[in-house]
Structure 1
């Protein structure tokens, strides 16, 4: 968890503690029907309150007019760290639609993906397998077909002039068994076709490459204004120049180890041949 995010969560908790002045944590928990440990965790920044929690807190402490302030603080906190639990309450499709807005606003998009084929290049069946696994992980609403359709619509941007997609993936992404073998084979065939698009530069970092930084979390850079970083629990939406610059340097370092053109084709073809082995 980022230090800035944790500090903001602790500040929200401190503000909530101020509001219950004269009321013990035990008394407040009883009013809310919560455990005392939940009150303590929220106040100390060890648990993030929901919008409903904040409104209930404001009412229970006798400060209903402060609910708007608390929600605004939460929204400011969540604007940078967007938990999957919150984002996926309505399923995967709204997340895909939100990303489309950022794609349309950008002209140079750079991506690093270490663990699977990047979403913008996925086939429908590969995307369906990925969404299924993440739906199971986060126990979110099962809107997989709608999510796949939204992802495929976003891929239309690959064929529109005016944007450049510079995507690099670790070689491991070509082999990850996140889908049945036949689906992976078709996905690798799709990547071969992508190599010919004039809007896309696709690079692969080989297993054997010497890298200046470890091939860690996947992320996207939208022009020079925004970095979206993926983690198991959340996405980080980072728009401050210092953070964006860090991810630009990471991307440059990984890109320096990537191969393109015929060499990238050989790595994809080798992965494809391995899928076909009995």
Structure 2
């Protein structure tokens, strides 16, 4: 589990425990508070130990039954700090993918150097509209979220304008498997590979491909982006991890540097892309 997230959740749990132990009407036991809220005593324990993330409603009930309803605002501010590190897809996608894309656009505006790793699909900053639409549609199905693929594509294309900003640099690594994964219809993937072929020569982009046959020093795990040297965003199946703690950011930078040692560039990268294109047959 992300250490930044767990530390923030434990801090919130300690504040909840303090509220219970210092209730105006006298100290409450966990069993007493559970009876007042209608929860199992184990839930009170999990919340206070930082083993479960409370909802805003949980916090309001906790504060009210401890006789301190005014403390709810402070506690919900701490909850927002917890959720700034782990952003569950269920909450993020409640209004569709566009809002998530807009949040990423804001992060892009504040950084000049980007390092990305993507083992499973073509990275978003280089996706064609049709490829991006296929990805958004299939993830909406998985997450059972509102389908707003067209709006999400427009937001993603807005972010791609940064590729033509001479003040920004994108150092991108992809595994060859990402070039071959049929997450879209074959004709869409063919056009996407043509787009990648052109990206190899862009002034702002350094695109490295790790061939399937390459020797790897570490396993090609989940994709991530490093924004400058300050923040990492990692996508998992259940949430995005927003990582700010310096030691953890450095771990991802070392990971990226290690993966880079197995990558090929320039003409060699073109050869890998062309091989993936040929495997799809004629248009």
State TM-score, norm by structure 1: 0.91
C-alpha change, 1:38 and 1:129, in structure 2 (3 Å) is farther
Count of aligned residue pairs for this structure pair? 278
1:15 aligns with 15
SS of corresponding position for 2:280: helix
1:171-219 CA deviation, whole Å, 9 max, x = no partner?
1100112111121111111111212221111110011111222111211
Structure 2 residue 142 is the aligned partner of structure 1 residue 137: yes
2:209 aligns with 204
What is the alpha-carbon root mean square deviation over aligned residues? Answer: 2.2
Q: Distance in 1 between matches of 2:42 and 2:129?
A: 44
**1:31-70 equivalences in 2 (<5 Å):** 31-32=36-37, 38-70=43-75
SS of corresponding position for 1:276: coil
C-alpha change, 1:101 and 1:53, in structure 2 (3 Å) is same
Deviation at 1:155, TM superposition (A): 0.7
Structure 2 residue 243 is the aligned partner of structure 1 residue 223: no
Structure 2 residue 141 is the aligned partner of structure 1 residue 118: no
1:71-117 CA deviation, whole Å, 9 max, x = no partner?
12212222222222222222211111111112111111111111100
List runs of 5+ in structure 1 lacking aligned partners. none
SS of corresponding position for 1:249: helix
Task: Select which of 82, 85, 89 maps to 1:84.
Answer: 89
SS of corresponding position for 1:95: helix
Task: Select which of 195, 202, 206 maps to 2:200.
Answer: 195
Task: Select which of 257, 261, 277 maps to 1:272.
Answer: 277
C-alpha change, 1:149 and 1:33, in structure 2 (3 Å) is farther
1:168 aligns with 173
Task: Select which of 218, 221, 235 maps to 1:213.
Answer: 218
List runs of 5+ in structure 2 lacking aligned partners. 22-26
State TM-score, norm by structure 2: 0.89
